[in-house]
Amino acid sequence: MALNSPLIVRVEEIPETGISFGDTMNDIRTWLDHHHIEPVVFKTIDQSLAGRGFEITFANHHDARLFGVSTAERYRREADRIRREAELSPVKATHDQLMDIATQFDRLAESIDPLKD
C-alpha cells in the first residue's frame, strides 16, 4: 500500500446475515471513533455491479493499515463463525448457503487486508 494512496473499501449488503449496509457504516464509524481516527473522506459510493459501498481516505498510512488489518480480521472471524454454523446444519441447502456467505466474508477480508501482498 503506497503511503499517499487512499484505502478504498467496498462492502455489499449481505441480507442473509441480517447485516445491513447502514449497520456496517455505523460499526465502522464507531470503530474509527474508538481509535480516535478522523478520516479525510468517508462517503458512500454506488457501484454498477456490486451495489452500494463506501470509500474511506485516511490522513496517514498508519491509520489506513490499522483499519485494514482490524477490519479484515473481523470479517475472517465472522466467516469462521458462519462455517462452524454451516457444519452443524443437517440441511444441505442451508449448509451450502451458509458456506457461500462465509466465502463472501472471506472475499471482503481479502479485498481490504493491507498485509495480503
And the C-alpha cell for 12? Answer: 455489499
Convert the pLDDT of each residue in 11-23 to its tens digit.
Answer: 555 445 666 777 8
Give φ, ψ of 12 to 5 degrees: -95, 150
The reply to whether the predicted model has a pTM over 0.85 is no
Average pLDDT over residues 81-103: 94
Q: Report residue 51's pLDDT band, with 50, 70 and 90 as the boundaries.
A: low
And the C-alpha cell for 43? Answer: 462517503
Amino acid at the residue 102: A
